[in-house]
């Protein structure tokens, strides 16, 4: 574990560098080394930036160009390498001599195309100088708080998420960048993003270790295709998943039925089942789709724990109440009976047309007053573990006052609260407000129910209950 | 090369971990089997490294009671088994009514030894109702495996049966985890009369 501890300490320099050398920086638009430089300029990186290139250019984007990192002569926290694979070892040696504290290799052409020899060199040079390396064959890292961004994706092509508490780790660059783009249109924000590619040095175990202890990270979201150190991953997970939720999507579900199986057990329990077992047993939150990653991230980022599965639905649309009820039961959740005192309280505050039972349909003309009264009553009811508020903004009564009252209510964090709001422009202007204030919003009851089920399952795990 | 561990030795090993298996004995001829039966229903099975799926290959004869039945089945099995040398024929007492479960073990290349619990018997791969965990497991894990099964209410209808299965699972997992075997099938284990019997044992190296 000692080795891991040093890597952990050093990842801070990769995530929050005060000085960055871009090796392979280029003045030619369209080149990876150009996009990386442009990004550092665009995101407003506050530290020192040192473009490195030996092609004779003096300046790139106004920054003095160095022929080698060894010419920089100042402290370098992070070296971003985007040169062809075959010269990466030479460049890494120079980074080592220049005492760079961390390296990101974005270049491809290593073990992913069968070039294991060069990748082994990367590993041995990293060991020799004791420098943590992210990659190769990856996008690298993004840290909006530190304005650090090694992604070679131009800012006009992919939106950058705002600062927040969700950290996202992706083995794949394309999954990573597309999800990042989506996160930026969600109400929640990003703590750290790490695309780690071939995981030659820093792998999923190191990253889980680092992020589980990271003070800025509330939720870890993982896209993995495989784990290199299975047993270490499991050992670490035992503590990591007790510190914060780890949502995981495993790509590449290989069919079970190993050729060599001589027993029923071996033919049933293939690699996919092993991963599923690990996720269940060690408290991971398993996502089935890319969408799940987003739905789960936002509920875990903001909502309190709930170990019971009784969900109160409030709705200003009858059909949505029916669909939401179906969605609850499909996901192992139930609609409870309201307590006598809640029924009494609601009878007083609701007009006669409102039936006092769940799903609580407060009417298409419901405005702020009815939403507030319903939220107040249900949050006190001991029969209710969490609340789903279906808030359709197409209705005459739903407006910014309704949105604000949900925000106000959500800030109390007494019980988990999620909002379902289906719609476009007008709706989104309100749901953006709600979500950026810390109440997750879903387009459909099914998404909301899936997220609630995941929250409850994880809450039960954290409380040591059988899940 | 995968090899099947001797049935009698496997029985002894299970017993060491407190796992009960059905009364059984190797038999050398039909008369031997008749003596073992003592009028009870028995099962005759061919055990061979070359026969992995016994019941599919017609190498199991169930519900034998009359001397003549036993004799006829024994002779038929030994004829079939002559192609599978070396082989042994085993006689077992038969549990007629019970619920069949499977407890198993296998090794995953990435994570190591795993234990499996499922609805057992010959349809295990048809219904595919099973739960898997990494070894070693604790009581909590065992209970969560049971609650994961769709057939939970069939195999563990009450707290007592749930506890019995959980404890059995813990013992089997411990035995497999401590051993150097790569595959384990206890399939079926018969749940009956508030207790259980491992009816078929397969341990592979």
Residues A354 and A240 in one domain: no
Inspect the interface and report whether the beta carbons of A267 and B118 lie closer than 8 Å: no
Residues A315 and A259 in one domain: no
Inspect the interface and report whether the beta carbons of B111 and A264 lie closer than 8 Å: no
Q: Quick check: is B131 in a domain?
A: yes
Tell me the backbone φ, ψ of residue A185, rounded to 5 degrees: -95, 0
Residues A311 and A241 in one domain: no
Query: From CA B46, how far away is CA B109, in angstroms rounded?
Result: 32
**Chain B residue closest to A257 (CA)?**
B125
Residue-level pLDDT at A5? 41
Residue-level pLDDT at A54? 92
Its sign, for the CA torsion B151, B155, B160, B166, is negative
Instruction: Name chain B contacts of A280, Cβ cutoff 8 Å.
Output: 133, 144, 148
Instruction: Name chain A contacts of B114, Cβ cutoff 8 Å.
Output: 269, 273-274, 277
Q: Parallel, antiparallel, or unpaired: how do β-strands A59-60 and A63-64 relate?
A: antiparallel
Identify the residue among A269, A270, A283, A458 best suited for mutation to test binding to B, counting B beta carbons within 10 A and taking the highest.
A269
Instruction: Name chain B contacts of A261, Cβ cutoff 8 Å.
Output: 106, 183
Partnered with residue B105 across adjacent β-strands are: B115, B184
Neighbours of B4 (CB within 10 A): 19
pTM of this structure? 0.91
Residues A311 and A278 in one domain: no
Q: How confident is the model at residue B57 (pLDDT cuts 50, 70, 90)?
A: confident
Nearest to A274 among B2, B132, B183 (CB): B132
Share of chain A residues as helix, strand and coil, in percent rounded to the nearest 5: 40, 15, 40
Q: Quick check: is B13 in a domain?
A: no
Residues B110 and B164 in one domain: yes
Q: Quick check: is B8 in a domain?
A: no
The mean pLDDT value of chain B amounts to: 92
Residues B146 and B119 in one domain: yes
Inspect the interface and report whether the beta carbons of B109 and A271 lie closer than 8 Å: yes
Residues A375 and A437 in one domain: yes
The CATH number assigned to the domain holding A430 equals 3.40.50.261
Residues B30 and B45 in one domain: yes
What Rg value do the Cα atoms of chain A yield, rounded?
25
Neighbours of A408 (CB within 10 A): 13
Residue-level pLDDT at A439? 96
Half-sphere exposure of A181 (CA within 13 A, CB side): 14
Shortest Cα–Cα distance, A281 to chain B (Å): 7
Closest CA to A449 of A418, A422, A403: A418
Q: Under a CB-based contact definition with an 8 Å cutoff, are residues A125 and A88 in contact?
A: no
Residues A271 and A131 in one domain: yes
Q: Under a CB-based contact definition with an 8 Å cutoff, are residues A346 and A361 in contact?
A: no
Nearest to A269 among B116, B140, B144 (CB): B116
Please report which helix (H) or strand (E) contains residue A432, including its range: helix A425-436
Closest CA to A155 of A253, A35, A239, A326: A35
Query: From CA A191, how far away is CA A211, in angstroms rounded?
Result: 10
Residues B112 and B152 in one domain: yes
C-alpha distances in angstroms, A125 versus A54, A129, A140, B98? 22, 6, 19, 63
Shortest Cα–Cα distance, A465 to chain B (Å): 8
Residues B82 and B169 in one domain: no
Residues A48 and A194 in one domain: yes
Domain-ending residue, one of A278, A299, A320? A299
Inspect the interface and report whether the beta carbons of A268 and B130 lie closer than 8 Å: yes
Query: From CA B12, how far away is CA A366, in angstroms rounded?
Result: 72
Query: From CA B104, how far away is CA B189, in angstroms rounded?
Result: 11
Q: DSSP code of A363?
A: -
**Chain A residue closest to B144 (CA)?**
A466
CB pairs under 8 A between A and B: 93
Angle between helices A271-281 and A230-243 in degrees, nearest 10:
30
Domain-ending residue, one of B69, B93, B117? B93
Residues A181 and A117 in one domain: yes
Interface of B with A (CB under 8 A): 2, 4, 52, 102, 104-106, 108-112, 114, 116, 118, 124-125, 128, 130-134, 137, 140-141, 143-144, 147-148, 183-185, 187, 202, 204
Reported as a single tens digit per residue, the pLDDT across B8-21 is 999 999 999 999 99
Q: Give the structural domain span for A282.
A: 2-299
Tokens describing residue A390? 């279906």
Q: Under a CB-based contact definition with an 8 Å cutoff, are residues A410 and A425 in contact?
A: no
Tokens describing residue B43? 């099962």
Q: Quick check: is B14 in a domain?
A: no
**Chain A residue closest to B111 (CA)?**
A230
Partnered with residue B60 across adjacent β-strands are: B45
Nearest to A466 among B102, B137, B143 (CB): B143
Question: Rounded to 5 degrees, what angle do the CA atoms A262, A266, A269 make?
Answer: 160
Nearest to B124 among A230, A264, A467 (CB): A264
Residues A369 and A236 in one domain: no
Query: From CA B185, how far away is CA B200, in angstroms rounded?
Result: 8
Q: Quick check: is B1 in a domain?
A: no
How many domains is chain B built from?
A: 2
CA dihedral A453, A457, A458, A463 (to 10 degrees): 140
Interface of A with B (CB under 8 A): 226-227, 230-231, 234, 260-269, 271, 273-274, 276-278, 280-281, 464, 466-467
**B117 or A152, which is more confident:** B117
Q: Give the structural domain span for B113.
A: 99-204
Tokens describing residue A59? 């300046």
Q: Quick check: is A467 in a domain?
A: no
Render the burial of B17-55: b for 16+ CB within 10 Å, e for the rest: bebebbebeebeebebbbebbeeeebbbbbbbeebbeee
Query: From CA A39, how far away is CA A17, in angstroms rounded?
Result: 15
Nearest to A231 among B111, B183, B185 (CB): B111
The CATH number assigned to the domain holding B109 equals 3.30.470.20
**Going along A378-448, which residue ranges are E strands?**
386-390, 417-420, 441-442
From first to last of its 467 residues, chain A has per-residue pLDDT tens of 444 444 555 699 999 999 999 999 999 999 999 999 999 999 999 999 999 999 989 999 999 999 999 999 999 999 999 999 999 999 999 999 999 999 999 999 999 999 999 999 999 999 999 999 999 999 999 999 999 999 988 877 888 889 999 999 999 888 999 888 888 888 899 999 999 999 999 999 999 999 999 999 999 999 998 888 899 999 999 999 999 999 999 988 766 544 556 788 888 888 889 999 999 999 999 999 999 999 999 999 999 999 999 999 999 999 999 999 999 999 999 999 999 999 999 999 999 999 999 999 999 999 999 999 999 999 999 999 999 999 999 998 899 999 999 999 999 999 999 999 999 999 999 999 999 899 999 999 999 999 999 999 999 999 998 77
Q: In the predicted model, is pLDDT for residue B148 greater than 80? A: yes
Residues A294 and A326 in one domain: no
Query: From CA A21, how far away is CA A224, in angstroms rounded?
Result: 29
Residues A165 and A250 in one domain: yes
Tokens describing residue A91? 């460049």
Nearest to A273 among B132, B143, B144 (CB): B132
Shortest Cα–Cα distance, B141 to chain A (Å): 7
Shortest Cα–Cα distance, B52 to chain A (Å): 7
Instruction: Name chain B contacts of A461, Cβ cutoff 8 Å.
Output: none
The CATH number assigned to the domain holding B42 equals 3.30.1490.20
Closest CA to B188 of B108, B97, B109: B97
Nearest to A230 among B105, B112, B116 (CB): B112
Average pLDDT over residues B116-129: 89
Its sign, for the CA torsion A232, A234, A240, A242, is negative
Find all residues with CB under 8 Å of B53, minimum gap 6, and list them.
Answer: none
Identify the residue among B10, B103, B110, B119 best suited for mutation to test binding to A, counting A beta carbons within 10 A and taking the highest.
B110
Domain-ending residue, one of B93, B120, B141? B93
Residues A254 and A392 in one domain: no
Q: In the predicted model, is pLDDT for residue B205 greater than 90? A: no
Query: From CA A449, how far away is CA A457, in angstroms rounded?
Result: 12
Q: Quick check: is B10 in a domain?
A: no
Tell me the backbone φ, ψ of residue A286, rounded to 5 degrees: -90, 125
Domain-ending residue, one of A253, A270, A299? A299
Domain-ending residue, one of A243, A264, A299? A299
Q: Please confirm whether the linkage preceding A136 is cis (ω < 30° from 0).
A: yes
Its sign, for the CA torsion A304, A309, A310, A311, is positive
Nearest to A274 among B114, B124, B185 (CB): B114
Find all residues with CB under 8 Å of A194, minimum gap 6, and list them.
Answer: A134, A140, A141, A167, A168, A169, A170, A207
Q: How confident is the model at residue B123 (pLDDT cuts 50, 70, 90)?
A: confident
Q: DSSP code of A304?
A: P
Please report which helix (H) or strand (E) contains residue A210, including its range: helix A204-212
Instruction: Name chain B contacts of A264, Cβ cutoff 8 Å.
Output: 102, 104, 124-125, 185, 187
**Chain A residue closest to B129 (CA)?**
A268
Q: DSSP code of A65?
A: P
Instruction: Name chain B contacts of A231, Cβ cutoff 8 Å.
Output: 111-112
Please report which helix (H) or strand (E) contains residue A298, including its range: helix A290-302
Shortest Cα–Cα distance, A463 to chain B (Å): 12
Instruction: Name chain A contacts of B128, Cβ cutoff 8 Å.
Output: 268
């Amino acid at each position: 574990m000692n080795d891991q501890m040093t890597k952990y300490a050093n990842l801070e320099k990769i995530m929050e560098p005060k000085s960055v050398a871009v090796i392979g920086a280029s003045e030619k638009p369209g080149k990876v080394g150009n996009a990386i430089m442009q990004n550092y300029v665009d995101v407003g990186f506050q530290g020192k930036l040192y473009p490195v290139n030996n092609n004779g250019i003096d300046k790139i984007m106004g920054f003095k160009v160095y022929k080698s990192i060894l010419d920089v002569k100042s402290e370098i926290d992070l070296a971003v390498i985007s040169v062809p694979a075959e010269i990466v070892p030479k460049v890494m040696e120079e980074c080592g001599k220049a005492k760079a504290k961390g390296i990101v290799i974005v270049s491809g052409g290593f073990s992913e195309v069968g070039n294991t020899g060069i990748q082994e060199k990367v590993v041995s040079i990293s060991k020799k100088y004791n420098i943590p390396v992210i990659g190769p064959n990856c996008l690298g890292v993004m840290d909006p708080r530190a304005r650090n961004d090694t992604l070679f994706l131009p800012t006009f092509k992919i939106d950058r998420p705002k600062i927040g508490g969700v950290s996202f780790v992706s083995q794949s660059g394309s999954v990573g960048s597309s999800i990042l783009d989506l996160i930026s249109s969600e109400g929640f924000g990003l703590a750290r993003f790490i695309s780690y590619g071939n995981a030659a040095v820093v792998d999923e175990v190191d990253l889980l270790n680092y992020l589980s202890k990271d003070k800025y990270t509330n939720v870890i979201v993982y896209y993995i295709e495989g784990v290199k150190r299975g047993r270490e991953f499991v050992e670490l997970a035992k503590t990591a998943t007790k510190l914060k939720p780890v949502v995981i999507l495993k790509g590449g579900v290989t069919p079970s039925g190993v050729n060599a199986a001589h027993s029923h057990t071996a033919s049933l329990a293939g690699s996919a089942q092993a991963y599923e077992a690990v996720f269940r047993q060690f408290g991971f939150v398993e996502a089935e789709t890319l969408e799940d990653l987003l739905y789960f991230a936002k509920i875990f980022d903001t909502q309190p724990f709930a170990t019971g599965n009784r969900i109160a639905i409030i709705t200003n649309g009858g059909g949505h109440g029916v669909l939401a009820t179906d969605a609850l039961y499909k996901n192992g959740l139930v609609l409870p009976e309201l307590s006598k005192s809640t029924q009494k309280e609601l009878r007083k505050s609701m007009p006669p047309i409102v039936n006092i039972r769940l799903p609580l349909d407060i009417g298409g003309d419901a405005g702020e007053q009815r939403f507030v009264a319903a939220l107040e009553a249900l949050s006190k009811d001991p029969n209710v573990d969490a609340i789903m508020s279906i808030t359709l903004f197409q209705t005459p009564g739903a407006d910014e006052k309704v949105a604000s009252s949900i925000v106000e209510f959500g800030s109390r964090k007494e019980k988990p609260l999620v909002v379902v709001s289906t719609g476009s422009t007008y709706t989104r202007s309100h749901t953006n407000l709600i979500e950026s204030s810390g109440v997750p919003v879903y387009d459909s009851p099914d998404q909301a129910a899936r997220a609630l089920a995941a929250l409850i399952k994880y809450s039960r795990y954290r409380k040591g209950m059988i899940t | 090369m995968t090899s099947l561990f001797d049935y009698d030795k496997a029985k002894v090993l299970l017993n060491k971990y407190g796992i009960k298996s059905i009364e059984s004995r190797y038999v050398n001829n039909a008369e031997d089997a008749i003596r073992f039966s003592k009028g009870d229903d028995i099962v005759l099975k061919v055990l061979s490294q070359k026969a992995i799926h016994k019941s599919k290959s017609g190498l199991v004869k169930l519900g034998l009671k009359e001397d003549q039945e036993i004799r006829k089945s024994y002779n038929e099995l030994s004829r079939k088994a002559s192609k599978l040398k070396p082989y042994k024929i085993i006689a077992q007492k038969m549990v007629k009514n019970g619920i069949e479960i499977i407890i198993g073990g296998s090794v995953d290349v990435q994570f190591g030894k795993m234990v499996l619990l499922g609805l057992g018997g010959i349809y295990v791969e048809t219904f595919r109702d099973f739960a898997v965990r990494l070894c070693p497991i604790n009581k909590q894990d065992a209970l969560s495996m049971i609650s994961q099964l769709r057939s939970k209410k069939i195999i563990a209808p009450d707290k007592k049966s749930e506890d019995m299965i959980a404890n059995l699972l813990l013992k089997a997992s411990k035995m497999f985890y401590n051993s150097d075997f790569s595959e384990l099938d206890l399939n079926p284990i018969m749940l009956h009369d508030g207790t259980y019997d491992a009816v078929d044992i397969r341990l592979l190296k």
